[in-house]
């Protein structure tokens, strides 16, 4: 009964997101002068996007219990240390850091957006999750190649060989063939453990394509990250908090997520203020968003992995 309720919420969420994306795109297409500022994207990511990881401190306490560690401050120190190490790595070897981040992000997006549909987990699922999530990475390259490459350059990636490889991929239509692989994986995941709920896989698939066709890479990513990926993850967290009353769980989730969300937003704003001393405001926002997300993604995924492994 409980799983049925959550499944219905996930289904209608994907349906509403698909309708919202379609209408939003049509309106945006009709009014060519509309401009969505990177500052708006930053605000949405800081308020909605990062909140889906704002219970990592609660999960950290559960993880420490497995290792019989009672000092909760150890979790915060390790989490922060990993985030700082990622930033240092990015500043030192930005090309490798970007490539690793894109690979890890693709897997993370694919897993978080699909895992609740898969009843019987297999070791090879890591491959399917990666290629499903890869759509989020290649869609902006398909529709806005030059603009996406310019974002990579803003993220301190200056390796000429990296851009030669991207140019080769784009010139030889390899992006389209990668897209076909992601489509095949979507079809496979749709047919596997088949149930009507699985159709949301294609709602999400089409929504991501529509977003990246009509909007800039930053706007498309922001809408996906905040209103599809983060919202869906938040649904699972709400269910963990209160699997009886979803409304009550939502209120408890917002209350629990508020402190860490605010703290993370403060760090983002301080970083942005520092970067504006060296870069134009929009360039600083791009660096703050993506390098900041990379620094949070790695400890977040590591926590999820260790917790899942220990709870099994």
Number of domains in the chain: 1
30 in a structural domain: no
**Using CB atoms within 10 A of its CB, is residue 4 exposed (0-12), middle (13-18) or buried (19+)?**
exposed
Element (H or E) spanning 290, and its range?
helix 281-311
Q: State residue 2's pLDDT score.
A: 47
At 224, list the tokens. 């996906």
Q: State residue 3's pLDDT score.
A: 65
32 in a structural domain: no
217 and 151 Cβ atoms separated by less than 8 Å: yes
**Residue-number span of the structural domain to which 282 is assigned:** 2-24+39-311
Residue 155: name the closest of 101, 94, 103 by CA. Answer: 94
Q: State residue 246's pLDDT score.
A: 85
CA distance linking residue 71 with residue 82, whole number of Å = 18
97 in a structural domain: yes
Q: State residue 193's pLDDT score.
A: 84
80 in a structural domain: yes
29 in a structural domain: no
Q: Give the pTM.
A: 0.94
Q: State residue 228's pLDDT score.
A: 96
- pLDDT tens over the chain, length 312 residues: 446 778 888 999 999 999 999 999 999 988 877 889 999 999 999 999 998 888 898 899 999 999 889 898 999 999 999 999 999 999 999 999 999 999 999 999 999 999 889 888 888 999 999 999 999 999 999 999 999 999 999 999 999 999 999 999 999 999 999 999 999 999 999 999 889 999 999 999 999 999 999 999 999 999 999 999 999 999 888 988 888 888 899 999 999 999 889 999 999 999 999 999 999 999 999 999 999 999 999 999 999 999 988 876
Phi, psi of 187 (to 5 degrees): -65, -40
31 in a structural domain: no
Give Cβ neighbours of residue 89 (< 8 Å, ≥ 6 apart): 96, 97
57 in a structural domain: yes
């Amino acid at each position: 009964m409980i799983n049925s309720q959550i499944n219905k919420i996930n289904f209608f969420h994907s349906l509403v997101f698909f309708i919202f994306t379609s209408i939003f795109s049509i309106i945006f297409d009709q009014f060519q002068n509309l401009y969505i500022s990177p500052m708006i994207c930053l605000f949405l990511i800081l308020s909605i996007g990062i909140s889906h990881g704002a219970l990592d401190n609660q999960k950290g306490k559960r993880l420490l219990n497995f290792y019989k560690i009672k000092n909760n401050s150890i979790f915060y120190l390790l989490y922060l240390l990993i985030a700082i190490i990622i930033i240092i790595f990015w500043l030192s070897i930005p090309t490798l850091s970007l490539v690793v981040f894109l690979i890890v992000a693709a897997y993370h997006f694919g897993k978080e957006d699909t895992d609740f549909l898969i009843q019987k987990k297999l070791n090879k699922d890591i491959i399917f999750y990666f290629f499903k999530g890869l759509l989020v990475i290649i869609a902006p390259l398909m529709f806005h190649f030059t603009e996406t490459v310019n974002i990579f350059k803003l993220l301190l990636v200056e390796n000429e060989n990296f851009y030669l490889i991207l140019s080769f991929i784009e010139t030889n239509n390899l992006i389209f063939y990668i897209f076909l692989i992601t489509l095949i994986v979507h079809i496979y995941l749709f047919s596997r453990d088949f149930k009507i709920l699985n159709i949301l896989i294609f709602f999400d698939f089409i929504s991501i394509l529509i977003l990246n066709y009509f909007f800039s890479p930053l706007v498309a990513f922001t809408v996906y990250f905040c209103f599809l990926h983060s919202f869906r993850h938040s649904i699972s967290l709400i269910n963990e908090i209160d699997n009886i009353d979803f409304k009550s769980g939502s209120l408890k989730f917002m209350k629990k997520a508020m402190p860490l969300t605010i703290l993370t937003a403060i760090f983002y704003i301080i970083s942005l203020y520092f970067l504006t001393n060296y870069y134009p405001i929009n360039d600083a926002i791009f660096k703050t968003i993506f390098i900041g997300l990379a620094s949070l993604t790695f400890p977040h995924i590591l926590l999820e992995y260790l917790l899942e492994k220990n709870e099994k």
